[in-house]
C-alpha cells in the first residue's frame, strides 16, 4: 500500500471541507463551518490494482491562520488547490497558495490538482471563472513550478468530479519518484 499525505488548500469558504467530506462518503453540509487550523481524515482506496491511503489535511484558508498552516504542510506529497468559481479573488490567490505549499512541504517530488469548485452555481453567477481560465491557470502552474498539475471543475454539492480529482492526484503521486 502506498501512503501519501495530501493537503487541501485555498481561501476560506471555497469548499475544501465539503470536498473532503464528499470524498469520504459523507453528506453535503449546506451551512458553512470554518475550519480552525486544520482538520484531517484518512481514506484507503484502489487505484487500478494498487491500494492507496490518503491522509488528508484540510487547512484553514483564512489569512490569520497562515503561521499555523506552515507546520501542517511538512511531509505533504500532494495538494488539491481549490478556488470558488463564483469568487474571482479566490482564483487570483491560487499562485500564492501553491507557493506556500511548495515552500513548506519540504519535498520536490510532489503533484497537485487545481480545482474550480461550485460549478453547480455557474448558471446563477455572471462573471464566474470560466473553464478556459481554469485550464490556463493549470498550464501556468505547471510551467512556473515544474510539477505535475491536473485541472478539474467540481461540485461538492452534487459530487461532480470529486472522486476523479482525488484519484487523479493519486495517479500523479504514484508516478513520482521518492518515498510513498
Sequential pLDDT tens for the chain (180 residues): 999 999 999 999 999 999 999 999 987 566 655 554 566 789 999 999 999 999 999 877 656 556 667 888 899 999 999 999 999 999 999 999 999 999 999 877 999 999 999 999 999 999 999 999 999 999 999 999 999 999 999 999 999 999 999 999 999 999 986 654
Written as nine digits, the cell of 25 is: 462518503
pTM of the predicted model as reported, rounded to 2 decimal places: 0.92
pLDDT of residue 135: 98
Q: Which residue's C-alpha cell is 480529482?
A: 165
Predicted local distance difference test score (pLDDT) of residue 27: 73
* DSSP 8-state code for residue 120: G
Quick one: how many helices (H) and strands (E) in the chain?
Answer: 6, 6
Q: What is the DSSP letter of 127?
A: T
**Cα 13 to chain center, whole Å?**
13
Domains within the chain, CATH numbers bracketed: 2-175 (3.40.50.300)
Q: Is 103 helix (H, G, I), strand (E, B) or coil?
A: helix
Q: Which of 118, 83, 76 is nearest to 97 (CA)?
A: 83
Amino acid at each position: 500500500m502506498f501512503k501519501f499525505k495530501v493537503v487541501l488548500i485555498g481561501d476560506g469558504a471555497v469548499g475544501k471541507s465539503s470536498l473532503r467530506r464528499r470524498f469520504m462518503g459523507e453528506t453535503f453540509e449546506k451551512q458553512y463551518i470554518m475550519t480552525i487550523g486544520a482538520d484531517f481524515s484518512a481514506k484507503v482506496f484502489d487505484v487500478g490494482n494498487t491500494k492507496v491511503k490518503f491522509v488528508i489535511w484540510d487547512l484553514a484558508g483564512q489569512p490569520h491562520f497562515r503561521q499555523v498552516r506552515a507546520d501542517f504542510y511538512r511531509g505533504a506529497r500532494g495538494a488539491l488547490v481549490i478556488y470558488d468559481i463564483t469568487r474571482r479573488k479566490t482564483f487570483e490567490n491560487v499562485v500564492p497558495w501553491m507557493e506556500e505549499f511548495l515552500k513548506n512541504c519540504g519535498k520536490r517530488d510532489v503533484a497537485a490538482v487545481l480545482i474550480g469548485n461550485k460549478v453547480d452555481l455557474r448558471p446563477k453567477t455572471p462573471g464566474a471563472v470560466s473553464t478556459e481560465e481554469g485550464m490556463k491557470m493549470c498550464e501556468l502552474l505547471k510551467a512556473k513550478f515544474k510539477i505535475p498539475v491536473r485541472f478539474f471543475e467540481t461540485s461538492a454539492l452534487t459530487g461532480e468530479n470529486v472522486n476523479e480529482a482525488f484519484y487523479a492526484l493519486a495517479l500523479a503521486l504514484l508516478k513520482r519518484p521518492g518515498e510513498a
